[in-house]
């Protein structure tokens, strides 16, 4: 429910309660007595009690009930109850000069204000709790949004840095593969600039960028690296966080080449209904691990994004054993 709709619904609830409290006895007891008191007196004092309900809930309670002035708040409540009781007696005598006071009706004159004040305190406690939870939820959402934007802003520069390094390698070799590589890279850049800022994108677009990225790497390494890409997408209407899968593949190419005997990289992506199953396996040389201080930025980034966006709807298993590095991600497309 939107905030405006919530406010309107609360107003209707308040109105319904007061109408029941005033209307039903008013209709039933008009020109009659209410437990020995005139019905008009009941209606007028109930209106007064409603006014005190909101006065206490929205002025006295928030202004005075704190560590410094709590005692003043209690004094004010006692004073309100006492003065209101005497004021009711005065106006009752003024409106009905011949009215006979008894012990019972005097209690009815003084006591009803107490439940209204008590109810207003309970109402204010509930009101503050709901408002606090709503503010916490909004603040948490803003923090998550800011953190997610920061994480997304880190994806493109890191990814682009690695790809430009690949282009430099091809340029130095004066390879005729440089031109198709630049075309592929331009498609990736277009994706990062215009698509990756969306909250969610179609899974088919993410798959397309995976294919572009792998094609770039195949252009670079040729037959030096055994690259396997298997994709099965039976849920093309599925939506996914942009640039979520590419960092895992990027990490495999970064560490699965160089002084590795018979390097291979196996990528499998299966999407059935809303369930995505993604696997990346590569071999590496444990003795030749990069000491780059920026190593792992992409993986840490995507782990944080998974936790922020998918929470309990994903499982990520990373295994590093005997020179084989494997990533297995299973998540529900929301």
pLDDT surpasses 60 at 331: yes
pLDDT tens track for 181-238: 788 778 777 776 666 667 788 899 889 889 988 887 787 777 888 999 999 999 988 9
The residue-averaged pLDDT of 249-269 equals 84
pLDDT tens track for 42-76: 777 777 888 888 888 888 888 888 778 888 888 88
Quickly name the fold that domain 159-332 has: Heat Shock Protein 90 (3.30.565)
- The CB-based long-range contact list for 307-315 (8 Å cut-off, 24+ gap) reads 308/144, 308/147, 308/148, 308/151, 309/148, 309/241, 309/334, 310/241, 310/334
Name the percent of the chain lying above pLDDT 70.
Answer: 72
pLDDT tens track for 107-141: 667 777 788 888 888 888 888 888 888 877 776 66
Q: Which residues of the chain are in CATH 3.30.565.10 domains? A: 159-332
What pTM does this model have?
A: 0.55
Band of residue 252 on the pLDDT scale cut at 50, 70, 90 = confident
């Amino acid at each position: 429910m939107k905030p405006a709709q919530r406010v309107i619904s609360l107003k209707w609830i308040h109105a319904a309660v007061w109408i029941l409290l005033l209307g039903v006895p008013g209709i039933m007891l008009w020109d009659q007595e209410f437990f020995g008191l005139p019905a008009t007196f009941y209606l007028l004092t109930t209106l007064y009690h409603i006014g005190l309900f909101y006065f206490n809930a929205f002025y006295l309670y928030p202004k005075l009930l704190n560590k410094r002035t709590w005692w003043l708040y209690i004094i004010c409540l006692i004073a309100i109850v006492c003065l209101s009781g005497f004021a009711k007696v005065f106006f009752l005598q003024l409106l009905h000069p011949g009215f006979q006071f008894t012990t019972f009706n005097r209690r009815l004159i003084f006591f009803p204000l107490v439940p209204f004040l008590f109810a207003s305190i309970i109402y204010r406690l509930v009101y503050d709790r709901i408002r606090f939870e709503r503010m916490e939820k909004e603040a948490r959402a803003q923090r998550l949004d800011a953190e997610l934007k920061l994480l997304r802003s880190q994806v493109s520069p890191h990814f682009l840095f690695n790809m430009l390094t690949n282009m430099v390698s091809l340029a130095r070799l004066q390879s005729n593969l440089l031109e198709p590589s630049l075309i592929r890279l331009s498609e990736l850049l277009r994706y990062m600039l215009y698509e990756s800022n969306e909250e969610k994108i179609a899974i088919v677009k993410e798959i397309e960028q995976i294919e572009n990225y792998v094609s770039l790497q195949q252009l670079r390494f040729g037959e030096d690296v055994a690259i396997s890409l298997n994709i099965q997408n039976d849920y093309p209407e599925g939506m996914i966080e942009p640039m979520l899968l590419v960092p895992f593949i990027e990490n495999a190419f970064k560490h699965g080449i160089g002084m590795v005997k018979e390097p291979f990289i196996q990528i499998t992506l299966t999407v059935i209904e809303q369930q995505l199953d993604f696997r990346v396996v590569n071999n590496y040389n444990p003795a030749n691990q990069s000491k780059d201080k920026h190593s792992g930025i992409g993986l840490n980034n995507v782990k944080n994004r998974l936790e922020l966006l998918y929470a309990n709807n994903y499982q990520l298993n990373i295994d590093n054993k005997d020179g084989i590095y494997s990533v297995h991600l299973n998540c529900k497309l929301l």
